[in-house]
A = this chain, B = another copy of it.
Amino acid sequence: MAKKSELLQGTLDLLVLKTLRQEPAHGYAIAQKILVSSRKVLDVQQGSLYPALHRLEKKGLIESEWREGDNGRMAKVYSLKKAGKKQLEEEMEEWSRYIAAIQWVLEA
């Protein structure tokens, strides 16, 4: 059944926004951060991540800038915009509410 890399639809945006609230980061680093902070459970695929970043930018929740990193490589660094912070807060509340509801059903 579900491979460990499969995310529940709708959670990726939340994870990305949350990760960017710590500090700006480029796509590749975002995936790594999520992998580490989830203790290797959530392995976000590039084919999921990049389209998600484009979506979020299109919605005005994040913005990007090409920068050169310490290793001399160019990377597209994303940062949270104000609307993104608001969205993050809303989605976290929604998430809690949702998880609690599921939990009630599973414990019924």
Binding site for B on A (CB under 8 A): 1-2, 6, 8-11, 14-15, 18-19, 22, 34, 37-39, 41-42, 87, 90-92, 94-95, 97-102, 104-106, 108
How many monomers of this chain does the complex have? 2
> Binding site of A, secondary structure by majority: helix, strand, loop or mixed?
helix
Out of B11, B37, B97, which one reaches A41, CB within 8 Å?
Answer: B97
Out of B8, B19, B34, which one reaches A11, CB within 8 Å?
Answer: B8
Out of B37, B87, B91, B106, which one reaches A105, CB within 8 Å?
Answer: B37
B8 touches A105 (CB 8 A): no
| Complex Cα–Cα for A87 and B2 (A) | 11
Do A102 and B10 form a contact, CB below 8 Å, given A1-B90, A37-B108, A97-B41?
no
